Amino acid sequence: MGQRVEAREDEGIASRLTLRIVALGITQVISWGATFNLPGILGPSMAESLGVSVDDVLLGPTVMLVTLALISWVLAPVFERFGARRVMLIGHVVAMIGLGGVALSESMIAFLASWFVLGIAGSAILTTAAQIALAEIAGPKARQAIGMMALISGLSTTLFWPMADGLEGAFGWRGTVGVLVAFFAIICMPLTALAIPPRQQPAVTAGDPATPTIIPPLNRVHFALMAIAIAANGFITWGFSLTLILLFEQKGIGHSSAVAMASALGIVQLGARVVDFVGGRRLSGMTTGLAASLVLPMSFLLLWLGSGRTTVLLFVLMYGAAGGTMAVARSTIPLAIFPRVAYARASARLALPLNLAYAAGPPAFGAILTNWGAQDALRIAMALSTVAFISLGTLMLWVRMERERDGKVTSAGITGND
């Protein structure tokens, strides 16, 4: 009888956690769709209204990413002290202000200033913030929770762009942005408030005896190796995200086939996330990340050596699987290296190099492909991805040796559950 009661209680806890993950996933779909991904569907209308080119409009998301990177570092102690709930709720309000500014913009100065505000909001509501929230509420199941949310948030453009396109047809692009402001008020804020319970006790840093929840300082060498590996891979994957069609065309693929193959990448990446979520529960984010980091340079080597439809298809499978797996692993690697109570600090600080890499990747690889060609772009990608693999492998061995030395390696250690 007692076992059945405990089983029902466990099922209830799991169900509540699933609902929290789904709620946060919905806020991520809206938050990404209404900010960074918005010019992907409204960009031409925005450019025409402002009297500028679409390239000029795309500076908005770049400003957002750079701002997000810089502000995330500053927000680390705020997340630790007040928890993700307060930070995200305030962030939604700031996002509403930024979107309101975008909708009312009549000049590029006002437009870019509004994207600066959205960058501040993004540091408080986008992926890093949601992952910090899940680390708070999911406990030992944080890795699985983050993986599940990644599946939902990965559908942002798939779900959001058709809706935004329909709204633009009905209300114009400014009216559409106004509707998105309302989405934050009536959907994102209530879901965030329901998904994340209020923090009962603030955490403090080491050396402050005020509370028993002590957050140890991050090992600088561990963090540096992690940041190098993740930022290098992020620079490559985001760099190729907007230039794959050009890359494939330079490797001898016709335009229509290049578009089809590049479009298939999203399906492969989603499939890799599903496989990682379902089958990766016995492996840490470090282990899956190391495997993905090994496959990435191999995929670039394959495409560098060959050309034609078959080679490109194999590249899409390898590159897509590695990129999809790494998208989840980069969020969970800090759980495998640092104590869970330090996850907010590690993730917020990691957002600085990672988002700068995201912002720099597309224009850098666009320029390389345009001026130097596919072979040089692939050589650079191979070099960077190899550096990432070596950094992550070194980190994994270093952490393992330290834990063996301290007698802290268990069956769930760095190669087991997080």
Q: Per-residue pLDDT tens for 11-67? A: 556 788 889 999 999 999 999 999 988 887 888 899 999 999 887 888 898 899 999
**Residue 71 pLDDT class (50, 70, 90 cuts):** very high
Structure tokens at 38: 């918005």
CB 356 within 8 Å of CB 66: yes
Tell me what the mean pLDDT of segment 320-345 comes to.
84
Lowest mean pLDDT among 72-86, 119-133, 238-252, 270-284: 270-284
Q: Per-residue pLDDT tens for 120-154? A: 999 999 988 998 999 888 877 877 888 888 878 87
Q: How far apart are CA 158 and CA 156, in angstroms?
A: 6
345: part of which helix (H) or strand (E)? helix 343-371
Query: What pLDDT score was predicted for residue 413?
Result: 46
Residue type, 252: G
CB 229 within 8 Å of CB 388: yes
**Residue 4 pLDDT class (50, 70, 90 cuts):** low
pLDDT at 3 over 60: no
Percent of the chain exceeding pLDDT 70 equals: 88
Query: What pLDDT score was predicted for residue 332?
Result: 81
**Domains within the chain, CATH numbers bracketed:** 2-196 (1.20.1250.20), 218-406 (1.20.1250.20)
Q: How far apart are CA 36 and CA 238, in angstroms?
A: 13
Contacts of 250 (CB under 8 A, 6+ apart): 369, 373, 374
| Measured CA distances, 377 to 28, 166, 251, 306, 367 (Å) | 32, 37, 12, 14, 9
User: Of 346, 324, 350, 327, whose CA–CA distance to 337 is shortest?
Assistant: 346
Range of 207-221, 296-310, 335-349 with top mean pLDDT: 296-310
User: Of 68, 76, 85, 98, whose CA–CA distance to 27 is shortest?
Assistant: 85
Q: How far apart are CA 84 and CA 346, in angstroms?
A: 14
Number of Cβ within 10 Å of residue 86's Cβ equals 16
Query: What pLDDT score was predicted for residue 40?
Result: 79
Q: What predicted TM-score, i.e. pTM, was given to this entire model? A: 0.78
pLDDT at 299 over 80: yes
